[in-house]
């Protein structure tokens, strides 16, 4: 820090897979101290499933206990990791001297809950998946949330968003969409999120191998529409890797019923693998199909781009639009997901094109440069003070 005084960042977190790896990046900042605030009125500490480093958390149960941390005079920055319903009320507690940063998750932007309607409205479910009973329940929830949100539920969210000073989106095109909201005033901050470097070597595969389908047991992955597209293809001697290590239990039960698709054995990943091990598994596949329409599975897709995996996405998806705009070679589920393309891995030229494109967009030569950029971004918040 230029003034030599340590700044304190109050992180507002929920139970997500991102916490452990991302917190390490914040811990490496020079001149900053990190506090991690977790509010869970309905669950106990031992019920937190995805955060391994629970000892880092300040665990609060009541709104009053949780809210007082936002007004602490020593706190300089309030950094929201995603946006969940309880967080909306925090605008009442955050004192005016704090800088508020919102790191958006896909769920924040595109999905409804029983209190608020979707912030950015997309048709999330494709035809077959949308007819599945768990998804019918989700669609009903969305319809009800539109009514309640307009009448009452969206008001605290609007007030909270007005209070946000800086916004970090996973995709630049998402920030453009948010700017269209009349009450959104936040400046861009670390667009594309807090991305890691990940030094991967491109691999050219001569023969078609295993296929990744989806990245979690979430309804918005549209697994059933993907399965409908590939079930008549001949995939004998190959395996389909289907991660269901997190998501919704009722949808996990639906996906477990698929033991064989197109002659390929389906391997359901039930446990969260270490990051390196998981991306080695992804890199050993030759094809990956992600059916999400909203921004989702971005880390998985980036992993594919770095390791020579052919990726299929829906053309109307946020992922497809951003990756196409970035210049990657991407295949569409609607037009390209067929026997011929599933039998053919990426060419050497395509593999190296996607690998080079990823690192060109990242703009850094090593992990140290990535960390230096995060440091620079935070320090820039105080350049004019």
- pLDDT tens, residue by residue, 176-207: 999 999 999 999 998 876 656 567 788 899 99
Highest mean pLDDT among 104-118, 149-163, 221-235: 221-235
Average pLDDT over residues 123-141: 85
Mean pLDDT of the chain: 89
CB 364 within 8 A of CB 197: yes
Q: Residue 1 has what pLDDT?
A: 45
What confidence tier does 115 reach under pLDDT thresholds 50, 70, 90? confident
Q: What is the pLDDT of residues 227-268, one digit of tens each?
A: 999 999 999 999 999 999 888 898 999 999 999 999 999 999
42: left (phi over 0), alpha (psi -120 to 50) or beta: alpha
Q: Residue 2 has what pLDDT?
A: 47
What confidence tier does 174 reach under pLDDT thresholds 50, 70, 90? very high
For residue 36, the number of C-alpha atoms closer than 13 Å in the C-beta half-sphere is 17
Q: Which is more confident, 138 or 63?
A: 63
CB 286 within 8 A of CB 211: yes
**Which residue, 71, 91, 60, 236, is CA-closest to 164?**
91
Q: How many Å from the N-terminal Cα to the C-terminal Cα in the chain?
A: 12
Which tokens belong to 142? Answer: 């969305």
Total residue count of the chain as it appears in this document: 385
Element (H, E) at 368: helix 367-380
Q: What is the DSSP string of 241-281?
A: EEE-SSB-HHHHHHHHT--EETTEEEEEE-SPPPHHHHHHH
Pairing outcome for strands 264-269 and 260-261: antiparallel
Q: How far, CA to CA in Å, does 319 sit from each of 221, 240, 291, 322?
A: 12, 22, 10, 5
Q: What is the pLDDT of residues 29-61, one digit of tens each?
A: 999 999 999 887 677 776 777 777 888 888 888
195/185 Cα distance (integer angstroms)? 24
Sign of the torsion angle spanned by Cα atoms 312, 314, 317, 320: positive
3-class secondary structure for 51-108?
CCCHHHEEEECCHHHHHHHHHCCCCCEEEEECCCHHHHHHHHCCCCCCEEEEECCHHH
Q: Residue 89 has what pLDDT?
A: 84
200/356 Cα distance (integer angstroms)? 11
Highest mean pLDDT among 19-28, 135-144, 218-227, 369-378: 218-227
Q: Which is more confident, 350 or 113?
A: 350
């Amino acid at each position: 820090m230029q003034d030599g005084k340590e700044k304190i960042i109050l992180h507002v977190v929920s139970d997500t897979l991102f916490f452990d790896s991302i917190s390490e990046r914040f811990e490496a900042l020079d001149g900053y101290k990190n506090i991690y605030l977790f509010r869970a009125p309905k669950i106990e500490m031992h019920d937190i499933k995805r955060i391994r480093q629970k000892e880092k958390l300040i665990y609060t149960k009541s709104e009053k206990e949780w809210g007082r941390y936002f007004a602490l005079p020593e706190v300089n920055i309030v950094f929201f990791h995603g946006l969940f319903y309880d967080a909306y009320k925090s605008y009442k507690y955050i004192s005016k001297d704090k800088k508020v940063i919102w790191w958006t998750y896909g769920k924040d932007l595109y999905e409804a809950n029983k209190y608020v309607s979707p912030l950015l409205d997309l048709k999330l479910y494709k035809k077959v998946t949308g007819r599945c009973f768990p998804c019918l329940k989700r669609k009903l929830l969305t319809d009800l949330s539109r009514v309640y949100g307009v009448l009452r539920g969206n008001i605290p969210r609007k007030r909270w968003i007005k209070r946000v000073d800086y916004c970090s989106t996973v995709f630049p095109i998402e920030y453009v969409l948010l700017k269209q909201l009349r009450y959104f005033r936040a400046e861009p901050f670390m667009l594309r999120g807090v991305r890691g470097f990940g030094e991967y070597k491109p691999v050219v595969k001569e023969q078609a191998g295993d296929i990744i389908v989806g990245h979690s047991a979430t309804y918005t992955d549209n697994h059933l529409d993907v399965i409908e597209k590939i079930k008549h293809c001949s995939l004998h001697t190959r395996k389909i890797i289907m991660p269901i290590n997190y998501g919704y239990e009722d949808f996990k039960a639906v996906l477990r019923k698929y033991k064989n698709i197109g002659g390929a054995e389906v391997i359901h990943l039930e446990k969260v693998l270490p990051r390196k091990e998981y991306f080695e598994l992804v890199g050993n596949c030759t094809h990956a199909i992600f059916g999400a329409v909203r921004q989702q599975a971005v880390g998985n897709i980036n992993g594919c781009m770095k390791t020579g995996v052919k990726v299929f996405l829906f053309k109307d998806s946020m992922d497809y639009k951003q990756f196409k705009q970035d210049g990657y070679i991407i295949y569409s589920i609607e037009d390209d997901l067929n026997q011929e393309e599933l039998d053919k891995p990426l060419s050497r030229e395509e593999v190296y094109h996607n690998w080079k494109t990823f690192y060109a967009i990242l703009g850094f030569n090593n992990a140290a440069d990535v960390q230096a950029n995060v440091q620079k971004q935070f320090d820039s918040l105080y350049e004019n003070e």
